[in-house]
Amino acid sequence: MIITPKIRGFICTTSHPEGCAAHVQQQIDYVQAQPPLKNPPKRVLVVGASTGYGLASRIVPAFGGGAATLGVFFEKEPTEKKSASAGWYNSAAFEEAAAAAGLYAKSFNGDAFSHEMKKLVIAAIQADLGQIDMIVYSLASPRRVDPDTGEIYKSCLKPTGETFTNKNLNTDKKEIESVTIEPANEDEIAQTVRVMGGEDWKLWIDALADAGVLAEGFKTVAYNYIGPEVTWAIYTDGTIGRAKLHLEKTAEDMNTRFGDKTALVSVNKALVTQASSAIPVVPLYISLLYKVMKSKGLHEGCIEQIQRLFADHYDASNGPTLDDKGRVRIDDWEMRADVQAEVAKVWNEVTTENLDALADFAGYRQEFHRLFGFGLPGIDYDAEVDPQRKIPSIPAPVA
């Protein structure tokens, strides 16, 4: 079949297996072109490992440090007539590349929030690796099923306290418009915290600790975003921000239990990901930010960000450098005063008519397409392609 992008809002319902594989290989090539990691973790578990920062967090220790990796994700498998989700194809390509490089890689497709998934992963660690040195928690989900009660929690993207109105980029119409979002109620805030806070991160660490599969001196990291004041109402001060405060408190509690700098929150740069594309205001901000950072030679994608996290922080002799709230900041280039001053200036000036001149909307759209395997060089998108791809370590479903 010929696979073309079918985009609805911030979702693309198709993905291209060869394009996704090429995208993964580009990231591997980047890592292999950097100096090898000096003190990498050798056994890494990534929860939320199939796209964006999570995928990069699997690629960097594997191809930059020779790590054995386990990846957990929830992706749609392909059929004879329908493409898989991009994360499925990414993971298939990662495992193929890992096998060619002689690296251990095992993947798990299912509900990462469940007790059953944790048991499956622990059994694999016990059988194959004994213990693990690092756990990366990079899960992004709109809902979570409580593993004990079965209750379904749903997250929302809303401000707290007051109604929020600001500019927004309608990416379908390529138009600047105004968006108004009513504030979340207490139940919506609480549910967002249950989905996107640190509760499940803690459950993973507790389960791994109880099973005795955490190596002495293990490290764990989860990801966050802060951004500029223009996004705070919908992000940092909104429902997501409440969840991320819980995430940071969870890290503090883990450090009390396991030791200083065991659990860290890394504040990462704003990038085009499946998660960020869904947040009002953020696509416009990213389009403006890309223009400024590219002009200054500062632009990074997920793989460059995570390479810096490992090389500049986890490889450092004294360990990661932290801010005054105990967080790693690999958003430091984004938050430079000169970068933010220029973005703030054009934010006030941007309209539908001058969007192309002031923003890098073309770059935003290109990155969005690449998430799903489209727009990669060297791929014939007019050619027939078999949508079926296997992830070698995942058993085929029973007929």
pLDDT tens-place string over residues 66-95:
999 999 999 999 998 899 999 999 999 999
Catalytic residue among 235, 285, 290, 314: 235
Q: Give the structural domain span for 241.
A: 7-161+186-279+300-335
**Is residue 171 in some structural domain?**
no
**Is residue 390 in some structural domain?**
no
**Is residue 313 in some structural domain?**
yes
**Is residue 169 in some structural domain?**
no
- With bands split at pLDDT 50, 70 and 90, how would you rate the model's confidence at 233? confident
**235: annotated active-site residue:** yes
Q: Can you tell me the mean pLDDT for 148-177?
A: 91
How high is the mean pLDDT of the chain?
94
**Is residue 193 in some structural domain?**
yes
Q: Find the range with the poorest average confidence among 1-10, 101-110, 189-198, 334-343.
A: 1-10
**Residue 301 above 80 pLDDT?**
yes
Instruction: Judge contact between 51 and 371, C-beta under 8 A.
Output: yes
CATH of the domain at 48: 3.40.50.720
**Is residue 354 in some structural domain?**
no
pLDDT per residue over 368-383, tens digit each? 999 999 999 999 999 9
**Residue 300 above 70 pLDDT?**
yes
**Residue 361 above 50 pLDDT?**
yes
pLDDT per residue over 340-360, tens digit each? 999 999 999 999 999 999 999
pLDDT per residue over 120-138, tens digit each? 999 999 999 999 999 999 9
**Can you give the pLDDT at residue 200?**
98
**Is residue 167 in some structural domain?**
no
**Residue 398 above 60 pLDDT?**
no
**Is residue 340 in some structural domain?**
no
**Can you give the pLDDT at residue 282?**
87
- With bands split at pLDDT 50, 70 and 90, how would you rate the model's confidence at 399? very low
What residues contact 312, with CB distance under 8 A and at least 6 apart? 321, 330
**Residue 275 above 80 pLDDT?**
no
What percentage of the chain reaches a pLDDT higher than 90? 85
Give the count of domains, the chain. Answer: 1
Q: Can you tell me the mean pLDDT for 224-242?
A: 87
Q: Can you tell me the mean pLDDT for 103-120?
A: 97
**Residue 397 above 60 pLDDT?**
no
What percentage of the chain reaches a pLDDT higher than 70? 99
Q: Which residue has the higher pLDDT, 207 or 233?
A: 207
**Can you give the pLDDT at residue 155?**
93
Gyration radius from the chain CA atoms: 20
